[in-house]
Homo-oligomer: A and B are copies of this chain.
């Protein structure tokens, strides 16, 4: 089995973080390649960034249809996910969709850790799109002058607040670049901490093994070209 993870942004350092997480999970059981979308924006923080990464992802996935068994979109905004499910005959898994749906299987409610307050409404909108809003305890983000979500201590502090004040029982990391904090955060806070890339690999791996892929019946029926 070969799974292709696409980092929708052009930040090779983030791709490296994603790749390391992915290979830790794959552990040699399957091949996983982690590609940087070189025509994408440096960071995906708004709708314009999401748009800017889609053409590159379409090209990457179309060219590699035969080479991979499944594709993963490694940005927690799930940019272009409906589009990519449509153009691919192989499964395409978004890290937001996979993580928030798995979160509902592990506890009564979950909170999402966001890289910024700016992204909170979009994460709420995604949770509503995915039908998990009744299980969403909160979306929390860095506040104060220097957000600096890349500092693990800050992230863990945010997570603790979600557990203690918002009553969440599961934490979902709201950015593909947060995965390396998952283990330590889980230990310190005593709740499951879900990294989206790991969750998407769980789903993708399973779909490939089961021979399942996106329904092509109506919503994701590929465009007819001839």
Contacts and interface: CB of A to CB of B under 8 A. Distances in A.
A86 B223 CA distance: 28
Contact of A102 (B86, B183, B203): B203
Interface in A105-131: 105-109, 117-118, 120-122, 124-125, 128-131
Nearest to A122: B219
Contacts of A175: none
Nearest to A49: B223
Contacts of A122: 219
A202 B194 contact: no
Interface residues of A, number: 78
The secondary structure that dominates the A interface is: helix
A132 interface: yes
Interface string A87-112: 10001010001100110111111000
Contacts of A215: 106-108, 169-170, 191-192
A134 to B, nearest CB: 5
A105 B109 contact: no
A210 interface: yes
Contacts of A222: 46, 48
Given A29-B29, A82-B47, A131-B135, A192 B213 contact: yes
Contacts of A132: 131
Point out which of A80, A130, A201 has the most chain B C-beta atoms below 10 A from its C-beta.
Answer: A130
B220 A107 contact: yes
A190 interface: yes
B108 A131 contact: no
Contacts of A163: 217
Interface stretch (A8-16, A51-59, A146-154): A51-59
A67 interface: no
5 contacts: A47-B220, A48-B58, A131-B132, A202-B209, A205-B205
